[in-house]
Chains A and B, each alone.
Chain A
Amino acid sequence: MSAALARIPRPVAALLLALAIHLIGMALIRGFGTMFGIRAMLVLATLLAIAAIGQTLVIIIGGIDLSIPFVIGFANVTAAQLYGDGVPFAVVLPLVLAVAMAIGAFNGMVSASLAIHPLIVTLGTGTALQGAVQLWTAGFPTGAAPSYVTSFVSIGGSIGPIPVPWLIPAFLVLAAVVILALGRTVYGRRLYALGSNPRAARLALVDPVRTWTITFALSAGFAALTGVLLLGFSGAAYARVGEPYLFQTIAAVVIGGTTLIGGRGGYLGTIAGALCLIELTTVLVGLGLRPPLVQATLGVTIVALVAIYGREAHVRELI
């Protein structure tokens, strides 16, 4: 059974899984398959998938980014505060993205040039960043997103007769760009080379510091984008809004078949992984489980899924 499963491409397996969960939900929960429910899940999965773009890139390169939730919170609060203070949104968005990317670039550069585990560096800068944001707003951020950002991500939004907000088609374009960038650009191929074998990649003229710097900057950039979109989604700013995304981005990437050893996987899998997670959470909540139990069940499910198809090689196979 697990051997047969192992032969299905990971993104396909994850997508089938999402579908299966959906069908189970429809069978067990009244009103699960309604249009509104599906739209809500699509929007939530899309937000997660955007936050997980960076985690995917970073994990392919052989790293991990723990600063994503903190950067989401930073962007969420900063955008609200600045826009609330009257700064035009056309200035706010680039500013927030630029600051986030600078922090990400620092993470990548320090990790790669000094050979420090990115887990520690991103944790350190992320914690400091969150503290700074909270200090600035005294823990009570004010402000909101412009109304067009809100309608851009609104679950009830629609594009003419199509009942989805603009977020969905925009994301499809973004996803296509990410997938093409990974597969067809010099940057993308170098990412896989570094993740597969950093020493060999360096000797094949891939500059690790440069690639890590760019990749962590992108990761922080997409996290910041998620933070701004979440501001539109929830209406009010909250410095800890990103917290669930720490575990969820990693889980979406791993369920999608990108392994933490680096060099393998892709963004299509992450999208499928994000769908899986949101479907599963929605079904569990729909079944009446309280949030802590939903969390516990998710933990078990992730381990079970990875045990089926994401196992590492035995040390004897590495010799």
Chain B
Amino acid sequence: MSRWLAGRAYLRLAAGLFVVLLAVNIALNPVRFAPTSLGVTIGLASGLVLAAIASMPPILAGRGGIDISVGPLMGLVNVVVVRWLVEGLGIESPFLIVPLVLLLGLLSGALNGLLATVLRIQPIVATLGTSLFYAGITLTIVPSPAGTVPGWIKALAGPTSILPLAAVALLWLLIKRLPFYEQLLCVGSDDRAAYTAGIPVTLVRFLAYVLAGLIAAVGGLCLTGLIGSADPNIAGTYTLLAISAVALGGVSLAGGRGGLVAAVLGAADIFLLQTALTFFNVSTFVLQIVYGTVLTVAVVLNADRLRQLLRGRRHT
């Protein structure tokens, strides 16, 4: 374990914060963090965790790669499932809804990938465009919160909340065994070298966006379980939260460095921070202040350059 961490020094801060925050939370609210209510607690966090994991691949792919549309896509999934599938078509079976949700995620990811890698529109602009598109569509489908969801979706925020997370973790472990993962990290740290070495840079980056879309869609389903209805206003905030989580996890937005654990730890930190603060019944404004400050301080403390400056080393 310690050897594994040694190779991932960037995780230390997020891991330390996680331990401290978890201890604080357990001390403050032993009931919520008791093993019996673990399902509900994970259900509260899973949307954010999945959004953070979804943000990971495009960032890993480097050269400004980022997917801003993660949150809006989750919102779109939410209203499509509730309004179109459940209410419109009367579909309630997970064996139809889950594949359709995944398909929506794949298509959306492919769209982002197409724009950002094949058409080579700067990723922030491309995914900003799709964000606006999804957010607009979402609000058009469901202008205000409405609808109900089948029991199994609700359960995703309760007893079975570990399922989607486990599925995504499994997917990630599988991907790590593929040459694709190595190629992704190569492209992220030096795309020119990767290209010269014969790695299909464009394809690898494209797949990173597809993966983001897929995982975000799963996150959208979890969020649907949590809200229990269609709400066009909730998911939008998840993009910035997800990117913050990834940054808190020590991932460099420059690409080439990061992983599942970083995203999960970062997201868990934000979640635990929120729950600890809400326990004190502080206003959302205080929450905002603390959260913005923690984010800033964390990235400062995590900066490689800070360590170099403290050690007095310089470089060109």
Report whether A123 and B140 are in contact in the complex, using a CB–CB cutoff of 8 Å: no
Report whether A292 and B137 are in contact in the complex, using a CB–CB cutoff of 8 Å: yes
CA A115 to CA B252, docked complex, whole Å: 10
CA A115 to CA B66, docked complex, whole Å: 18
Interface assignment of A282: CB less than 8 Å from any CB of chain B: no
Identify the stretch in B28-36, B38-46, B90-98, B296-304 within 8 Å (CB) of chain A at 4 or more residues: B296-304
Interface assignment of A92: CB less than 8 Å from any CB of chain B: no
Count contacts between A and B, CB distance < 8 Å: 176
Interface assignment of A196: CB less than 8 Å from any CB of chain B: no
> Chain B contacts of A299 at CB under 8 A?
128-133, 135-136
On whether A260 and B292 interact (CB within 8 A), knowing A124-B299, A293-B136, A299-B136, the answer reads: no
Most chain B CB neighbours (cut-off 10 Å) among A119, A251, A315: A315
Which of A113, A119, A130, A296 sits near B243, CB closer than 8 Å?
Answer: A119
CB distance from B89 to the nearest CB of A (A): 23
Interface assignment of B295: CB less than 8 Å from any CB of chain A: yes
CA A128 to CA B240, docked complex, whole Å: 14
Interface string of B303-316 (1 = CB under 8 A from A): 11110010000001
Interface assignment of A43: CB less than 8 Å from any CB of chain B: no
Report whether B285 and A131 are in contact in the complex, using a CB–CB cutoff of 8 Å: yes
CA A38 to CA B293, docked complex, whole Å: 43
* Residues of B near any A CB (own CB < 8 A): 63-64, 66, 115, 119-122, 124-126, 128-140, 143, 191-192, 195-196, 201-202, 240, 243-244, 247, 252-254, 283-293, 295-296, 299-300, 303-306, 309, 316
Known: A116-B299, A131-B286, A135-B286. 8 other contacts (CB 8 A): A64-B124, A127-B291, A131-B288, A134-B288, A306-B121, A307-B121, A312-B120, A312-B122
* Residues of A near any B CB (own CB < 8 A): 64, 110, 113-117, 119-121, 123-132, 134-135, 139, 199, 203, 247, 250-251, 254, 259-261, 290-300, 302-303, 306-307, 310-316, 318-319
| 10 contacts across the A-B interface (CB closer than 8 A) | A120-B299, A121-B299, A131-B292, A292-B140, A292-B143, A293-B140, A296-B137, A299-B133, A303-B130, A310-B121
